[in-house]
Structure 1
Amino acid sequence: MAMLNRVHLNGLRAVETVARLGSLAAAAGELNVSVSAVSQQISRTEKQLGQALFERTASGLV
């Protein structure tokens, strides 16, 4: 539980939106932020959790 207290809500929103919409660009559009901001939020959240949440491929996140 203590680990979850360190995770920022915006990062979790970014993860959920990318998972639901299937792309960083679509998530950025819905969240009204840049694609780079979404990518950084996901990376930060993965680091906070100590776990990769998406697989990175040449065609994007899976």
Structure 2
Amino acid sequence: MNSGRSLYEVQQILGHSDPAVTQRYSHLTKETVQEASETASAKLRAAVEALDSPRPGLRVIDGGKN
């Protein structure tokens, strides 16, 4: 699992019919878990920042009450 392969891929290679079996025998290093956490955090941070930033080319219209 530390080589970047998905749990599903490993399950298929090993012939496990139940993903729980693959999970039981997969051993992730602390570094792998930390890296996954940092990747998810960066993606969430970017999404929040995108929501907070103004959209170029868009303007607020007041509904024609000028």
- Structure with higher helix content: 1
> For the pair shown, which has the larger CA radius of gyration, 1 or 2?
2
- Structure with higher strand content: 1
The answer to whether TM tops 0.5 is no
